[in-house]
A = this chain, B = another copy of it.
């Protein structure tokens, strides 16, 4: 049986199926063997297109980070720039929460991250902050974005009232949190971001 004239695999196809598996099964749910199977191929075949699993994850991560918008700093209003950049950053991460723990390791090494950081730092210095202050403010924004994207808060609560009632007097409605997790996460992030920027 002749092979089809077009290759079965391409970097693009590998990346997109890998991301789909991560979104569906979690970061630990992605294995090279499972990825190969869903691509209709053997695991070894992947290594003709991808250097290592780690490099593949970095590619997937870069694709996600590429969508972040730093155009807000062009306005000259650094507060508005910070808020818009942070919001777009969090949205990009929130679309693929399972990959965030991987992203949290050394995003500073990625090209897109450095570009973004450079723009942010420049806007803050132009606004009169010292270089050190600009660095710390940028760090603070990252703390909020990654902390929020880890989704460690609203999700993770049990939906069973019995887990809270009686034992934790102030958490007697915590079982309702999973149902509103998404909007509560967004609102909590917006509140924290607004308070942070206002408090600077």
Binding site for B on A (CB under 8 A): 101, 103-109, 114-115, 117-119, 121-122, 125, 131, 133-140, 142-148, 150, 152-158, 164, 167-171, 173-174, 177, 184-185, 187-189, 191-192, 194-200
Among B109, B152, B197, point to the contact of A146 (Cβ < 8 A).
B152
A152 x B106 contact (CB < 8 A): yes
Nearest chain B residue, comparing its CB with the CB of A27: B101
A-B contacts, 5 of them at CB < 8 A, read: A142-B152, A143-B148, A146-B146, A146-B150, A195-B198
**CA A109 – CA B164 in complex, angstroms?**
10
Among B143, B170, B185, B199, point to the contact of A198 (Cβ < 8 A).
B199
A171 x B118 contact (CB < 8 A): yes
Say whether chain A's binding surface is mostly helix, strand, loop, or mixed.
Answer: helix
Q: Shortest CB–CB separation between residue A192 and chain B, in angstroms?
A: 3
B136 x A106 contact (CB < 8 A): no
B139 x A188 contact (CB < 8 A): yes
Find chain B residues with CB under 8 A from A108 CB: 152-153, 156-157, 174
Find chain B residues with CB under 8 A from A144 CB: 140, 143-144, 147, 192
Contact A171/B140 with A104-B101, A105-B152, A192-B196 known, Cβ cut-off 8 Å:
no
16 more contacts with CB within 8 A, not counting A121-B171, A142-B147, are: A106-B156, A118-B168, A118-B170, A125-B170, A134-B170, A135-B177, A136-B188, A140-B188, A140-B195, A143-B188, A146-B147, A146-B150, A147-B148, A147-B150, A150-B150, A195-B199
